[in-house]
A and B are shown apart, each in its own frame.
Chain A
Amino acid sequence: MKLAYWMYAGPAHIGTLRIASSFKNVHAIMHAPLGDDYFNVMRSMLSRERDFTPVTASVVDRNVLARGSQEKVVDNITRKDAEEHPDLIVLTPTCTSSILQEDLHNFVERAQIEAKCDVMLADVNHYRVNELQAGDRTLYQIVQFYIEKARRKGELPTSKTENPSVNIIGISTLGFHNNHDCTELKRLMADLGIEVNAVIPEGASVHELKNLPRAWFNLVPYRELGLMAANYLQAEFGTPYVDITPMGVVETARCIRKIQQIINEQGANVDYEEYINEQTLYVSQAAWFSRSIDCQNLTGKKAVVFGDSTHAAAITKILSREMGIHVVWAGTYCKYDADWFREQVSEYCDEILITEDHGAIGDAIARVEPSAIFGTQMERHVGKRLDIPCGVIAAPIHVQNFPIGYKPFLGYEGTNQITDLIYNSFTLGMEDHLLEIFGGHDTKEVITKGISAESDLNWTKDGLAELNKIPGFVRGKVKRNTEKFARDRGIKDISAEVLYAAKEAVGA
């Protein structure tokens, strides 16, 4: 047992659900007790989905405990098949169903006999993998399933596309700025003259999966999601993949050069150097920013970085290599991938922190006292408590991290966005600091208050006690309304009863 208040990565089934509901016309059925379908709320609220989240539960209740699910899961699958006509139903185990040890494979096989759609069981162990690992695995599983299916039917295309083409693997629902990143990557590919063969899983149909081998190569922008699928495609079809995250000016260039190399090996004859140069120096503002006086002022300032592997590694490199900022420590909660992270950032920070314990992170921030933090929502709150500005760079995230405006982190526009994010975090901190040195904007003593808080009316003890229970931001208004009410009626002493009578009368 472990005492926990906060977790960075969710439970395994969340990863599976993120993949399933990213695809078009795929439905997930969770084998779960009532209330475990909180994923639907998150998807509906955070990403403001207009459509119903295609996730339902086959509810585990007392009867299931006593007798097993029996027909229930199969019925739920066939029912959903008839109602929604999905292409695929993914039966999703949860922590509860893991310990029930029901033979979910058997349910899937039985349901497959009746259902018109495909049915599969997400192969994830709740006690061994987290959301990110489970998502990676489920994506691989679905890709494999449809490749095998096409192969059996002899529908697997044998040839590559005529022109260089790519599969973008790993864009998913509830991913940090994933939609914007996807648009930016497509734009980048268009600039490079590369066709986008498929984007998975977001918005893809499972029927497209058999065409994945047609691409010349796969691009896996995020470390956490898509590598298993890319490795599988490489093993099966020899399709090479690029796993350099194009985040930041240097890494974007590296990613593009790798693409150039890979497609030239397959017979394309492209030279992207001119493009990289043009973008770096004149289109993206990040390189110019690094040279500007603004950025000079940031030299040697202390920062700390924490997040998932992809974002924490990329931001660390940008801060250190592209802006000359001193990254005291960089860390990730992706413990399972710690070696990769170490290798990526070791030359760009003093210290590396691999932990899932937000308390340890908070302490490490307090100890270092950086000028700015780049982390998740949790670090933002630590920053609030310690009065240190924070830019949010990775999940877990809140609704404000699902902006409506175009804010990619990847590609050349991404470099602009990240520059703003970093610079704004630091200047805010500087402004605060200056204010403190000079004792605030407005140091003159306030002589008269605009809104009089004093009055001739007497508040009784219980009246005052009730008033103090009212949240601060409306208290003044309630107080004024109550006093007006009392004055109108000639009441001298304001008790709790008078306060509530006033509320009833005016809706204060």
Chain B
Amino acid sequence: MTVAQEPTALNFECETGNYHTFCPISCVAWLYQKIEDSFFLVIGTKTCGYFLQNAMGVMIFAEPRYAMAELEEGDISAQLNDYEELKRLCEQIKRDRNPSVIVWIGTCTTEIIKMDLEGLAPKLEGEIGIPIVVARANGLDYAFTQGEDTVLAAMANRCPSQVPVTENEKNERNAIQKLLNFGKKKEEVVQEESEYVDHPPLVLFGSLPDPVVTQLTLELKKQGIKVSGWLPAKRFTELPVLEEGYYVAGVNPFLSRTATTLMRRRKCKLIGAPFPIGPDGTRAWIEKICSVFGITPKGLEEREAQIWAGLEDYVKLIRGKSVFFMGDNLLEVSLARFLVRCGMTVHEVGIPYMDKRYQAAELAMLEKACLEMGVPLPKIVEKPDNYNQVQRIYDLQPDLVITGMAHANPLEARGINTKWSVEFTFAQIHGFTNARDILELVTRPLRRNNNLKDLGWDKLVKEEAKI
């Protein structure tokens, strides 16, 4: 390692792709909870089922609205008729759960045996009367959070293309919507229009927990920006209207297919912004949206400063420390950028897949953050090789490694602090309000080890004999 020549631009590399990550079918775990009237049917083998069963832990016992359509030898060799089999299972699901949508998750096996799910779905949909959305979230093509991307891209095609009733019947439309939204909060409908600036409709995409949706919506409301809809909504029946010319903005870095679909298929305009992760990201995200609508942002600078002030007790724990992202969920660039702003040095940003166009604003912001904070630019390693990474970790001895569970315990046993990366996917990390939660996660191993540091229990494996 030579520190002499510090790179002046981000350095992109691509390794072998031998890395550990979750299978993208794991997206059913959070999507079935987010979309309350959905049912996810994963069409795959025992391997898929075993993964979901173990990865979802206790959730499995809560009668989840997901199931496996487990393929048997007869399905593989086409002795059984795919259509008839799927029909039988979907009718059973309809009978037992009566969902508003069934999402078929295609897997590696359905790819290899070329089961035409996209072709079968419309036919079966007509027959059983429930929408069937097909998402090919398989391990041949995608990693972990990209599963959500494939589902949302498929859902984007199901969004209504125009407001149901014409404009001049506004009052009546409200009445109808009230009926349609029976049981939903009324406030949204009677929201004072005057609080908002006049701007073209904006739809946000990305699945977030409801409290975070509220927080980000309120954050934009402060700038007079109205969020017309959210992909996905709480229910499949409430998917937002997408007309040609609507503006869309992503809230997560792994949604590039959804963004592409919204632009190309739905003719929406994508606002390319950094993602609202960390106070710096949230401010940049809002500023970019404001600038597109010609709005001068109000009070954002003070708000960011105020959040940072509130984070100081955590930031001082990590300032000057170094971090290594092994990479498995595509949140890595945004998190790295935020941690650089917290005063950390980032050695390496491993990432499964890097869409330089969709993440352009985020990458630029990372570069800028490094320059302004006076720290070296990290190496961005796409499709990393975990074995090589572990060797680099031994060399660099970073203060923190953000990694999957497969490596966390072995690294801890060797005296290296780790944070389990999957937690960032399930914790609330978006917006000003949740910046503290990110640091709560990042500092946890450091705080824990501060508590234990005088015990001399750092290295808990016997020194391997050098060969």
Judge whether A126 is part of the interface by a CB distance below 8 angstroms: yes
Residues of A within 8 A of B25 (CB): 35
Residues of A within 8 A of B406 (CB): 37, 40-41, 44, 52-53
A504 touches B17 (CB 8 A): no
Interface bracket on A: 35 or more
Cβ of B51 to closest chain A Cβ, rounded Å:
5
- Which one of A265-273, A434-442, A465-473 is at the B interface? A465-473
A3 touches B140 (CB 8 A): no
B112 touches A96 (CB 8 A): yes
Residues of B within 8 A of A61 (CB): 17, 140-141
B185 touches A461 (CB 8 A): yes
Question: Total interface residues on B, using CB and 8 Å?
Answer: 79
Residues of A within 8 A of B20 (CB): 37, 40-41
Bound complex: CA A381 to CA B58 (Å): 9
Which of these, B88, B404, B433, contacts A504 with CB under 8 Å?
B433
Judge whether B405 is part of the interface by a CB distance below 8 angstroms: yes
Nearest to B187 among chain A residues (CB) is A462
Bound complex: CA A412 to CA B85 (Å): 51
Which of these, A35, A36, A56, contacts B143 with CB under 8 Å?
A35
User: How many CB-defined contacts (below 8 Å) exist between A and B?
Assistant: 188
Q: Beyond A50-B413, A56-B18, A61-B141, is A504–B307 a contact (Cβ under 8 Å)?
A: yes
Q: Beyond A1-B89, A7-B46, is A461–B113 a contact (Cβ under 8 Å)?
A: no
Bound complex: CA A431 to CA B232 (Å): 47
Cβ of A387 to closest chain B Cβ, rounded Å:
15
Residues of A within 8 A of B139 (CB): 32-36
Bound complex: CA A503 to CA B218 (Å): 14
Dominant secondary structure at the B interface? helix
Judge whether B70 is part of the interface by a CB distance below 8 angstroms: yes
Quick one: CB contact mask for A39-83 with B, threshold 8 Å, 1 for yes? 011101100111111001101111001000000000010000001
B68 touches A3 (CB 8 A): yes
Judge whether B310 is part of the interface by a CB distance below 8 angstroms: yes
Bound complex: CA A53 to CA B61 (Å): 28
Judge whether A95 is part of the interface by a CB distance below 8 angstroms: yes
B69 touches A50 (CB 8 A): no
Judge whether A258 is part of the interface by a CB distance below 8 angstroms: no
Residues of B within 8 A of A53 (CB): 406, 410
Residues 56-112 of B contacting A (Cβ, < 8 Å): 57, 60-61, 64, 66-73, 75-76, 80, 85-86, 88-89, 92-93, 108-109, 111-112
Quick one: CB contact mask for A490-505 with B, threshold 8 Å, 1 for yes? 0000001100100111
6 CB contacts below 8 A, A to B, read: A5-B68, A35-B21, A36-B47, A40-B20, A59-B18, A462-B187
Contacts A4-B70, A52-B410 known; list 18 others, CB within 8 Å.
A4-B49, A4-B67, A6-B53, A6-B60, A7-B53, A34-B143, A36-B47, A44-B407, A49-B409, A51-B413, A56-B18, A56-B387, A99-B76, A99-B112, A384-B61, A461-B187, A469-B209, A469-B211
Give residues in B with beta carbon < 8 Å to A: 17-25, 43, 45-47, 49-51, 53-55, 57, 60-61, 64, 66-73, 75-76, 80, 85-86, 88-89, 92-93, 108-109, 111-113, 138-144, 185, 187, 209-211, 214-215, 218, 306-307, 310, 387, 390, 404-410, 413, 432-433, 436, 460-461, 467
